[in-house]
């Protein structure tokens, strides 16, 4: 009996350790190689047809493609106009981009006909889609602006260097505008309607939002991930990024995926940021640069790069294959129970 107790403890310890250190199985549904001259700066997906938009970033002017990922084993792409950032309104199907240094916003219908164009202040290149609106970040003049699709108007709200990424929380109707380069500075908060400046999150850059749980995910110095209450903006949880960067929220499974580290691993946490589910790597030596998911979808789209390879690679991953910690614990409990039963039978 003593030997069984020791074996059960060792097995249980090993299983509990595996819960935190397991290499998570992530099914690669398909890959697609593409070239982006200015680097990937914008990433958006329309789950209606599984259309993935990939663009250049700030100042980009000719680097926008749309990848048809409806069949991940045979993806195709189409070149689109301009390419200084991209965002897609999944309700109307419209997508927005800018011509970078040309200081113009372009909004296109799903069939790629021009819906509207409007002058903007500054150098375009970072966008997010809201509820019938697009949030626009610029540099140069560093201004945050909101475009209204119905009225076809642009409202300039705030000027403060240096404009960076934009995120949107559907649960509250708020935009988050990151400011600063080469390090976290802050994020400004705006109400979508009526367009209003609400205040600032000090030392936090917002990267993703789960609008089902109303949790906002950000990064604060040095290398710390933050989980914020979307209504109060209070920090509810912090966790180590482990040298990683971009955080992608999965509101279907209530998880987050953290990528961008030099190790190439993608870390997976539960949505509260309290439990690390494990880590997985992209095949063939590719390193995850950034990712995107659509609301209610289990597909994770990842932009991967590889040293010495010019083309980037789009990975379509099935996150539903990542196990929950409770499932691993249940498996461990079952194994221990079977061993105990077998030991008792042996002693009879």
Q: Give the model confidence (pLDDT) of 289-310 as tens digits.
A: 889 999 999 999 999 999 899 9
pLDDT (mean) for 27-48: 89
Using the predicted structure, report yes or no on whether residue 213 has a pLDDT greater than 60: yes
Using the predicted structure, report yes or no on whether residue 333 has a pLDDT greater than 80: no
Q: Is residue 6 part of a domain?
A: no
pLDDT band at 253 (very low <50, low <70, confident <90, very high): very high
210 secondary structure, DSSP code: E
Q: From start to end of 160-311, where are the E strands?
A: 163-169, 174-179, 186-191, 196-202, 205-210, 215-220, 224-229, 235-240, 247-250, 255-258, 265-270, 276-281, 287-292, 299-305
Any residues with CB less than 8 A from the CB of 315 and at least 6 apart, and which? 28, 30, 31, 282, 286, 288, 301, 302, 304
> Which one has a higher pLDDT value, 181 or 206?
206
Q: Is residue 13 part of a domain?
A: no
Using the predicted structure, report yes or no on whether residue 329 has a pLDDT greater than 50: no
Q: Highest mean pLDDT range out of 27-36, 38-47, 254-263, 316-325? A: 27-36
Q: Is residue 339 part of a domain?
A: no
Q: Is residue 123 part of a domain?
A: yes
Place of tokens 């070149």: 79
pLDDT digits (tens, 9 = 90+) for 176-189: 998 876 555 789 99
Q: Using an 8 Å Cβ cutoff, are 101 and 59 in contact? A: yes
Q: Using an 8 Å Cβ cutoff, are 269 and 227 in contact? A: no
Q: What's the mean pLDDT when you consider all of the chain?
A: 83
pLDDT band at 224 (very low <50, low <70, confident <90, very high): confident
Using the predicted structure, report yes or no on whether residue 2 has a pLDDT greater than 60: no
pLDDT band at 193 (very low <50, low <70, confident <90, very high): very high
Task: Write down the pLDDT at residue 264.
Answer: 73
Counting the structural domains of the chain, the total is: 1
27, 28, 32: which is closest to 313 by C-alpha? 32
Q: How far apart are CA 106 and CA 127, in angstroms?
A: 11
Tokens at residue 38, please?
């200015």
Q: Is residue 278 part of a domain?
A: yes
> Which one has a higher pLDDT value, 207 or 182?
207
pLDDT band at 261 (very low <50, low <70, confident <90, very high): low
Q: Is residue 328 part of a domain?
A: no
Q: How far apart are CA 96 and CA 128, in angstroms?
A: 9
pLDDT (mean) for 191-195: 96
Domain containing 80 equals 23-322
pLDDT digits (tens, 9 = 90+) for 120-168: 999 998 999 999 999 999 988 889 999 999 999 999 997 766 778 999 9
Task: Write down the pLDDT at residue 207.
Answer: 92
Q: Is residue 254 part of a domain?
A: yes
Q: Is residue 12 part of a domain?
A: no
Task: Write down the pLDDT at residue 182.
Answer: 55
CATH number at residue 155: 2.130.10.10
């Amino acid at each position: 009996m003593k030997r069984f107790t020791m074996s059960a403890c060792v097995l249980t310890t090993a299983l509990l350790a595996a819960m935190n250190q397991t290499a998570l199985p992530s099914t690669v549904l398909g890959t697609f190689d593409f070239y982006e001259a200015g680097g990937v700066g914008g990433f958006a997906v329309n789950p209606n047809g599984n259309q993935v938009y990939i663009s250049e970033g700030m100042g980009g002017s000719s680097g926008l493609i749309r990848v048809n990922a409806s069949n991940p084993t045979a993806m195709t792409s189409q070149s689109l106009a301009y390419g200084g950032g991209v965002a897609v309104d999944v309700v109307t199907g419209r997508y927005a981009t800018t011509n970078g240094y040309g200081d113009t916003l372009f909004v296109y219908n799903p069939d790629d006909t021009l819906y509207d164009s409007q002058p903007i202040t500054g150098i375009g290149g970072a966008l997010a889609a809201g509820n019938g609106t697009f949030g626009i970040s610029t540099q140069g003049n560093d201004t945050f602006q909101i475009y209204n699709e119905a009225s076809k108007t642009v409202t300039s709200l705030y000027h403060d260097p240096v404009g960076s990424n934009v995120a949107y929380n559907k649960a509250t109707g708020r935009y988050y505008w990151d400011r600063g380069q080469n390090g976290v500075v802050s994020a400004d908060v705006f109400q979508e309607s009526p367009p209003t400046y609400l205040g600032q999150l000090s030392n936090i850059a917002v990267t993703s939002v789960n609008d089902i749980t109303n949790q906002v995910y950000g990064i604060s110095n040095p290398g710390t991930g933050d989980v914020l209450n979307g209504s109060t903006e209070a920090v509810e949880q912090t966790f180590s990024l482990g040298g990683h960067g971009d955080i992608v929220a999965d509101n279907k499974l209530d998880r987050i995926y953290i990528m961008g580290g030099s190790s190439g691993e993608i870390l997976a946490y539960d949505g509260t940021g309290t439990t690390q589910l494990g880590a997985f790597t992209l095949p063939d030596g590719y390193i995850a640069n950034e990712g995107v998911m659509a609301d209610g979808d289990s597909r994770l789209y990842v932009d991967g790069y590889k040293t010495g390879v010019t083309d980037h690679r789009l990975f379509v991953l099935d996150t539903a294959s990542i196990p929950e910690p409770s499932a691993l614990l249940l498996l461990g409990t079952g194994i221990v129970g079977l061993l105990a039963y077998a030991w008792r039978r042996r002693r009879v």
